[in-house]
Structure 1
């Protein structure tokens, strides 16, 4: 069975019209899993900054159930359901505090505080808002995009559920079985864990991009850094990992190289494989060529992929200025 939806359906899932148009072009989908896989690729690799902001603006402020720019009635109803736990655990005073912190957040970052609120209490959301308020804007922007993707995946599941319910009488599986399958698929995206609570492996979707990616943002200019050469290596030797301060015993083996594009994103550093080889990896950036008068002739980031993580995705960005840099694990 194949699934096709209108542009307005995808706008309800994610308020970006670019996202919706690309999803329609990629239709039909063989399953929810297929649609989610394509959605992640479209959201992180095709939708631009304006599209992200458009999607953010379609969400009501946490603690409210309606946004002036809400994309559709379906989106409004989904927002209400996603915030049901928060609203049921709120008091007049906690909603007031939440509103005040929402205003502070918007003033600092320029967009609404975005969080996948399903199952979260008001206190939990407020604590997360306060924690993320300390982030730098460029870091918080990507975190918000990751939260938007979580929400989109949940809404895609609801969209497919509504279509499956219509055809359930002629379907192969019972409604209960379909619900079980949907929960399994959603969990593989929303919960970053190698196994489910039952001890059974969580199903991971087929990859649509290499398992290791990066991008570079020039925080001194507030824009992507294009044209930076990137080198990916893996440690190979007698020891499973390089020992701090030690010499010998192994070496770094070339895996791939690329250069950042106009959006600051890397090209393909590895082949698209289901399982990435566990080990210690190093991404090096030719920052001296990009900023000739900067402090760093190059920057290297070393990280480890464990055997239990070989089906996960590793996005390792570089936030760069002439005299400082930082990184984090993205998605």
Structure 2
């Protein structure tokens, strides 16, 4: 953003009462620790400050915090009904063949059996084939390797969602 003024969405977020701001953040990421730490640093002067706090918080989340955050994400190929965010983010599976969708379901189940949580990837802009290839590649990781990849992917997802929040125009 080239303007030195606070974007409308960021100004509105800064001005929200804490319960409302917490609800907004919880929609973006299910980790209560992440939301609490972002709320504790308000107001944010710039979107960059908010993103930096999100990144720093994500880096410090415990395994339990990561598990809580992952629990808020539906499996790839099965966005939550009525949830436009997960549908938009998983758009790459929309045109997938029935065979690819079935393969993805099988891979999701195998991944979940191995790691104990859904396969998490920043799916924005990825095709169904790219998501399938990623789960195939990552299923061989150790739990420790996968936890760090998940942390990175969650950070990417949170940044995209926060950017959408701060770039929102004023309500009509």
Q: TM-score, normalised by structure 1?
A: 0.46
Is 1:124 aligned with 2:130?
A: yes
Is 1:134 aligned with 2:140?
A: yes
Q: Which runs of 4+ in 1 moved over 4 A?
A: none
Whole-angstrom distance in 2 between the partners of 1:22 and 1:136:
29
1:138 aligned counterpart, secondary structure = helix
Whole-angstrom distance in 2 between the partners of 1:131 and 1:149:
20
Partner residue in 2 for 1:154: 160
Structure 1 counterpart of 2:85, from 65, 78, 82: 78
Partner residue in 1 for 2:3: none
How much has 1:20 moved relative to structure 2? 0.6
Is 1:166 aligned with 2:162?
A: no
How much has 1:133 moved relative to structure 2? 0.5
Is 1:95 aligned with 2:101?
A: yes
Is 1:63 aligned with 2:55?
A: no
Whole-angstrom distance in 2 between the partners of 1:13 and 1:58:
9
Whole-angstrom distance in 2 between the partners of 1:14 and 1:27:
17
1:172-187 superposed matches below 5 A: none
Structure 2 counterpart of 1:112, from 95, 113, 118: 118
Whole-angstrom distance in 1 between the partners of 2:23 and 2:56:
19
RCO comparison, higher one (Cα < 8 Å, 6+) = 2
Whole-angstrom distance in 2 between the partners of 1:131 and 1:139:
12
Whole-angstrom distance in 2 between the partners of 1:34 and 1:12:
20
Q: Which structure's CA Rg is the greater one?
A: 1
Q: Which runs of 5+ in 2 are unaligned?
A: 1-5
In the comparison of the two structures, how many residue pairs are matched? 157
How much has 1:155 moved relative to structure 2? 0.1
1:243-282 superposed matches below 5 A: none
How much has 1:113 moved relative to structure 2? 0.3
Q: TM-score, normalised by structure 2?
A: 0.86
Aligned CA RMSD, in angstroms, stands at 1.7
Structure 2 counterpart of 1:54, from 62, 68, 73: 68
How much has 1:31 moved relative to structure 2? 1.6
How much has 1:8 moved relative to structure 2? 1.1
Is 1:38 aligned with 2:53?
A: yes
How much has 1:86 moved relative to structure 2? 2.4
Whole-angstrom distance in 2 between the partners of 1:99 and 1:86:
11
More strand by percentage: 1
2:43 aligned counterpart, secondary structure = coil
Whole-angstrom distance in 2 between the partners of 1:114 and 1:106:
10
- The answer on whether the counterparts of 1:14 and 1:20 sit within 8 Å (CA) in structure 2 is yes
